[in-house]
Amino acid sequence: MMRILAIETSCDETAFSLVEASGGLLRPTFSVLENLVTSQIAIHRPFGGVVPNLAKREHLVNLPILFEQIKEKIGKKKIDIVAVTVGPGLEPALWTGVGFAKEIHKKYFPKSKLIGVNHMEGHLYSFLLSQKTEKSNFKFQISKLKELFPAIALVVSGGHTIIIRMDSLTKRKKLGETRDDAVGEAFDKVARLLNLPYPGGPEIERCAKEGNPHAIEFPRPMMHDKNYEFSFSGLKTSALYYMRDHKTANINDVAASFQEAAIDVLRHKATRAIKEFNAHSLLLSGGVAASKALRTALEERCKELNIRFFAPSIQYNTDNATMIAVAAYINFLEKKNRALRANGNMAL
């Protein structure tokens, strides 16, 4: 068993997690002892998005507070790995986490291994946090992991929209990604058009429940292109023009129709990849995976295709440090070692 202390500060959440990992690459099992997340949403909301230097300042305030809290949980327990997100994300924000990790590693856990983690790998591996066992609320496992592969992974967040083929837990190929806006970004921007607060995803979903998804025929950019690329800025612009030309538009109908168009594109491309590569499962992750509408749409499609569907338990969709601990465990098993340097543009 490896005990992992993980830190995440890539965007506007300051997060710490304490996880016990075991089972190796064949049966990775995670016991979450503590999962702390402090969101800065209220601070960034007046600006309609995340302000990097404000984020940095807040992380610097929150990191020691959360650490004191998790230190009580650690007590005299030995820490084997200190893990920290090194990218991608906002560089000033990332540096606060990396600096803090180095500091506590030196001062409190000098014998542990210090591991830098790719934030998107954290999201990707968060599907391992999808199944709770009966014994303990915080214990997750997947038996016969091998049966899941080949798998198609869809990682959808505020900064990324990526579709990946996974041949095993550690072997993967990126099939495509967005050429412009990420899907979460499009949700946030359309929400702003509708005068809904940041972050827009949950707000759009809330309004969409009251609206008609077929009221407006928004375009499905690149949906029928024979590739795995996405484009969401055109969809956003269509919503902008619609709002400009229909001053008395029903907000709920706009939200529902926009959400439907975005889901349609994601479902279409995922289906194409599943069929092309004979995938046994679809793995959905990233902040936008918190969308019940998206989860339901993809889960239904997987049922039709007779393959398995996995998405993390709801608290592990948006940014958290437990997914960073999970990725650190896999990285450790793979003997992957990243430089402990913030890299805002780190690729997956």
Judge contact between 117 and 323, C-beta under 8 A. Answer: no
User: Which entry of Zn ion, ligand KG4, none binds 211, CB below 5 to 8 A by partner kind?
Assistant: none
Which tokens belong to 37? Answer: 């997340």
Judge contact between 183 and 232, C-beta under 8 A. Answer: yes
- Residue 234 CA, chain-centre distance (Å), reads 23
- What is the smallest separation between the CB atom of 127 and Zn ion, expressed in angstroms? 14
- What is the smallest separation between the CB atom of 84 and ligand KG4, expressed in angstroms? 15
How many Cβ atoms sit within 10 Å of the Cβ of residue 348?
17
Alpha-carbon radius of gyration of the chain: 20
- What is the smallest separation between the CB atom of 15 and Zn ion, expressed in angstroms? 10
- What is the smallest separation between the CB atom of 125 and ligand KG4, expressed in angstroms? 13
Stretch that binds Zn ion, among 35-43, 150-158, 240-248, 334-342 (CB under 5 A): 150-158
Q: Is residue 13 within the footprint of Zn ion (CB under 5 A)?
A: no
Cβ proximity to Zn ion, 105 vs 123, nearer residue: 123
Torsion sign (Cα): 192, 155, 29, 337 = negative
Measured CA to CA, the distance from residue 71 to residue 138 in angstroms comes to 19
Cβ proximity to ligand KG4, 105 vs 267, nearer residue: 267
Stretch that binds Zn ion, among 102-110, 154-162, 190-198, 263-271 (CB under 5 A): 154-162
Stretch that binds Zn ion, among 77-85, 223-231, 234-242, 313-321 (CB under 5 A): 313-321
Cβ proximity to Zn ion, 85 vs 271, nearer residue: 85
Measured CA to CA, the distance from residue 327 to residue 141 in angstroms comes to 15
Nearest to 120 by CA among 162, 175, 91, 84: 162
By CB under 5 A, name the one of 100, 319, 324, 327 that touches Zn ion: 319
SS (H, E, C) 57-115: HHHHHHHHHHHHHHHHHHCCCCCCEEEEEEECCCHHHHHHHHHHHHHHHHHHCCCCEEE
User: Which entry of Zn ion, ligand KG4, none binds 290, CB below 5 to 8 A by partner kind?
Assistant: ligand KG4
- What is the smallest separation between the CB atom of 191 and ligand KG4, expressed in angstroms? 7
- Between CA 219 and CA 223, with CA 222 as vertex, the angle to 5 degrees is 75
Judge contact between 3 and 77, C-beta under 8 A. Answer: yes
Q: Is residue 12 within the footprint of Zn ion (CB under 5 A)?
A: no
Q: Is residue 121 within the footprint of Zn ion (CB under 5 A)?
A: no
User: Which entry of ligand KG4, Zn ion, none binds 202, CB below 5 to 8 A by partner kind?
Assistant: ligand KG4
Cβ proximity to ligand KG4, 21 vs 289, nearer residue: 289
Cβ proximity to Zn ion, 32 vs 289, nearer residue: 289
Q: Is residue 157 within the footprint of Zn ion (CB under 5 A)?
A: yes
Q: Is residue 118 within the footprint of Zn ion (CB under 5 A)?
A: no
Stretch that binds Zn ion, among 162-170, 205-213, 315-323, 332-340 (CB under 5 A): 315-323
- What is the smallest separation between the CB atom of 153 and ligand KG4, expressed in angstroms? 14
Buried-state track 197-224, b at ≥16 Cβ within 10 A, e below 16? ebbbbbbbbebbeebebeebebebbbbe
Cβ proximity to ligand KG4, 104 vs 190, nearer residue: 190
Cβ proximity to ligand KG4, 87 vs 199, nearer residue: 199
Residues that bind ligand KG4 (CB under 6 A): 11, 157-159, 184-185, 187-188, 199-202, 205, 286-288, 290-291, 318-319
| Phi-psi sector, 94: left (phi>0), alpha (psi -120 to 50), beta | alpha
- What is the smallest separation between the CB atom of 138 and Zn ion, expressed in angstroms? 21
Measured CA to CA, the distance from residue 167 to residue 148 in angstroms comes to 9
Nearest to 325 by CA among 173, 154, 121: 121
User: Which entry of ligand KG4, Zn ion, none binds 92, CB below 5 to 8 A by partner kind?
Assistant: none
Positions touching Zn ion (CB under 5 A) are 157, 319
